[in-house]
Amino acid sequence: MTDQTETYDGDVTLTGHEDAPVALRDPEDVYLRTDSVAGDLEVCNAEYVFTHQSPGGGAVGDPETVVRGDLEDGYAEPDGVTGDAIVADAEDVFVTAGTAGGDLSVVAPENVYSDDVEPPREADDYDVSLTGWKQSGSASDPDAGVRVSGAHHEVTVEKARTDLDVYVVGHDHEIEITGRSASVSVYLLGYDNTVTVGPYLQSEVIADTGFDNEVVEEPYPVEELIETSKSEAFDRAGFGRRKVTYQVPAESDDWCPNCGEPADAIVARHQMEAFFLLGYPVKTYDQSTNPAKECEHCSRSAFDASLTERERKNVLK
């Protein structure tokens, strides 16, 4: 026996005002945030379920409140349901880590992508936090990271200098993080999401639950390993017999022949002794035939992303 039926058109957000158990009937996609359901959660007859909370519970009892109508997407923010919840006949349902305080049960789904993931942070502990459709956000010098749920969000974070969490829920999000000396932990739940991490950051994918998600690590720029280019060295040589050294990008190797690591950027250090005229070597006396090579891992010109600013200063002392 149902006490209340609430009828809506369009998107609906559960905010904790409905008497529980709350049933959301026949929505399109449903995005549930960490701590949004105080009790148990039952998801039945969904086309796709993407979940960071492992299913294993039993069915929820009859609802007190039924939310229905010409529904589009459904959202539940933290404290969105004060007891149990049922999501019935949705298209895609996204269950963020720690959504339900109780158990999750998934009944008769067509497709399930599931991993057991701990929520990395409290729900309000992010520099950028977006819910809904096609929003954009940005942060500079962040403390915690980014979370998005919904679809088509765009987030840019600059000057990351401390370790961050990036938690992406839904589909078609684009997140870009740049900075130095920090590590980015990436949580992916859904599909067609892209997280791009700049060249001086480290990244780790904690969970990739869904399909067609991508984490792009931007390559270390080879120019940064070049202290003196060939043309700079020749220009400085001026006039007379001179010894010059310069670095050029090495032929396309994937592995550094010096340290053996897989490398984005490899340079060759050349030496040359020649008679220079107007910055041009007119007669060469000696030239390195097997130039030393080095990469972003072993070059002393490289910025070591694994060190903090202070450690790096100590290394350079």
Q: Which of 48, 61, 184 is nearest to 120 (CA)?
A: 184
Sole binder of Zn ion in the list 258, 279, 291, 303 (CB under 5 A): 258
Residue whose CB is less far from Zn ion, 197 or 295: 295
Residue whose CB is less far from Zn ion, 237 or 302: 302
Sole binder of Zn ion in the list 210, 297, 302, 305 (CB under 5 A): 297
Does position 222 interact with Zn ion (CB under 5 A)? The reply is: no
Q: How many residues bind Zn ion (CB under 5 A)?
A: 6
Residue 221 forms beta bridges with which residues?
none
Residue whose CB is less far from Zn ion, 41 or 256: 256
**87-106 binders of Zn ion (CB under 5 A):** none
Token pair in block for residue 53: 């909370």
The span of 102-110, 190-198, 220-228, 298-306 binding Zn ion (CB under 5 A) equals 298-306
Tell me the three state secondary structure of residue 22.
Answer: strand
CB 160 within 8 A of CB 186: no
CB 78 within 8 A of CB 18: no
Does position 295 interact with Zn ion (CB under 5 A)? The reply is: yes
CB of 46 to Zn ion, least distance (A): 49
Sign of CA dihedral 166, 50, 72, 100: negative
Residue whose CB is less far from Zn ion, 69 or 257: 257
The amino acid at residue 182 is A
CB of 293 to Zn ion, least distance (A): 7
Q: Which of 170, 4, 22 is nearest to 91 (CA)?
A: 170
Q: For residues 86 and 83, what is the distance between their CA atoms, to the nearest angstrom? A: 10
The span of 92-100, 131-139, 213-221, 289-297 binding Zn ion (CB under 5 A) equals 289-297
Residue whose CB is less far from Zn ion, 117 or 302: 302
Q: For residues 181 and 176, what is the distance between their CA atoms, to the nearest angstrom? A: 16
Tell me the three state secondary structure of residue 119.
Answer: coil
Residue 280 burial (CB count, 10 A) = 11
Token pair in block for residue 247: 């670095």
Residue whose CB is less far from Zn ion, 112 or 268: 268
CB of 267 to Zn ion, least distance (A): 10
CB of 121 to Zn ion, least distance (A): 35
Does position 269 interact with Zn ion (CB under 5 A)? The reply is: no
Token pair in block for residue 305: 């992303």
Sole binder of Zn ion in the list 106, 195, 197, 256 (CB under 5 A): 256
Sole binder of Zn ion in the list 298, 307, 308, 312 (CB under 5 A): 298
The 8-class DSSP code of residue 216 comes to E
Residue whose CB is less far from Zn ion, 295 or 305: 295
Q: Which of 201, 209, 248 is nearest to 229 (CA)?
A: 248
Place of tokens 């990036």: 166
Q: Which residue is nearest to Zn ion (CB)?
A: 256
List residues binding Zn ion (CB under 5 A).
256, 258-259, 295, 297-298
